[in-house]
Amino acid sequence: MPDDRHLPVIDVSGGVAGVAREIDAACRDTGFFFVVGHDVPIELQTRLDALAREFFALDEAEKARIDMKHGGRAWRGWFPVGGELTSGRPDMKEGVYFGQELPPSERPLHGPNLFPVRPAGLRDAVLEYMDAVTQLGHLLLRGMSLGLGLDEDWFARNLTADPLVLFRIFRYPALVRGDERWSVGEHTDYGLITILHQDDAGGLAVRSPRGWIDVPSIPNAFVVNLGDMLERMTGGRYKSTPHRVYNTARDRLSFPLFLDPAWDADVLPVPGLGPSSEAEADSDRWDGASVHEWSGTYGDYLLTKVGRVFPELRDEVL
């Protein structure tokens, strides 16, 4: 039985074959776990954190030079505190959206990034970090494949040969205790897996089967959680778990990378896995929506979600 108060910590330094059962157990239980023993350099994490703090310390006029409205259909750039919605309510955070560095495209969420002039090193750090964490994501998906009784390269062959990789840097100003607003309201992620680096301010909580669990900071560990597509594909065996942030400490920074299916991938049930008796009822989801009844490509699903997060931008560019 997993610990009621803590998320499991999984060491992948020896590869994932030896810890596939641990990964599978974590995905079945909370859909959240820590990963250590990875190859993402601590120097890179520290450098990116410092550069992000330097950017957020700029005045809003300078940050607004890379406002998301300048990113168009690529959906890249900066937004101010309160500029992103969860369940229709403004989150008390600001952030910058990045993705794979691509040529201009008519396809939504594809195209070039918007990088600020200052700090000068942010561009290189972001792209280097995205590459390193994406490789960790592919490693974790191999472990999940084995945990599901599939070939190790099942995800790579069927969904992630050309994945959609999105990356965010968020700053959460401290709230006064008792403030009824959320740094980030309760939600689930949309795709396959999210790999999160966070500072030590705290505030992240996960809704486990045994109630809400606070997620502390562990040095050089990433928080990994599952998205809606993994819950859908596994018939509920794996959990796309609601989580939220309420920050009362000081400025909090987080760095989530989303490794998702290819844009035009049909996300179908995993062969041999029927609906799970462990699956929660749709009414128990944070939004009451069914990930099992929906059908279409991952791009279709993602557009319905991100359009609710930035409704004005959706109306303008989509």
Residue 1 lies in a domain: no
Residue 2 lies in a domain: no
Angle at 299 between CA 100 and CA 149, to 5 degrees: 90
What's the total number of domains in the chain?
1
* Among 124, 281, 249, 255, residue whose Cα is nearest residue 196: 255
163 pLDDT more than 60: yes
Binned at pLDDT 50, 70 and 90, residue 1 comes out as very low
Each residue's pLDDT tens digit, 242-287: 999 999 999 999 999 999 999 999 998 898 886 655 444 444 555 6
Binned at pLDDT 50, 70 and 90, residue 313 comes out as confident
Note the pLDDT of residue 281.
42
Each residue's pLDDT tens digit, 179-219: 999 999 999 999 999 999 999 999 999 998 889 999 999 99
Each residue's pLDDT tens digit, 54-80: 999 999 999 999 999 999 999 999 999
Binned at pLDDT 50, 70 and 90, residue 130 comes out as very high
Residue 23 lies in a domain: yes
C-alpha pair distances (Å), 69 with each of 97, 188, 257: 12, 25, 22
Residue 4 lies in a domain: no
Residue 164 lies in a domain: yes
Higher pLDDT, 156 or 291: 156
Each residue's pLDDT tens digit, 87-112: 889 999 999 999 999 999 999 999 99
Note the pLDDT of residue 285.
58
How high does pLDDT run on average in the chain? 92
On the CB side of 194, how many CA atoms lie within 13 Å of its CA? 25
Note the pLDDT of residue 276.
57
Q: Which domain holds residue 209?
A: 9-317
Residue 202 lies in a domain: yes
Angle at 166 between CA 163 and CA 171, to 5 degrees: 160
The rounded percent of the chain whose pLDDT value lies above 70 is 92
Residue 178 lies in a domain: yes
Note the pLDDT of residue 318.
66
CATH number, domain of 245, equals 2.60.120.330
* Among 250, 71, 100, residue whose Cα is nearest residue 171: 250
Note the pLDDT of residue 311.
85
Residue 247 lies in a domain: yes
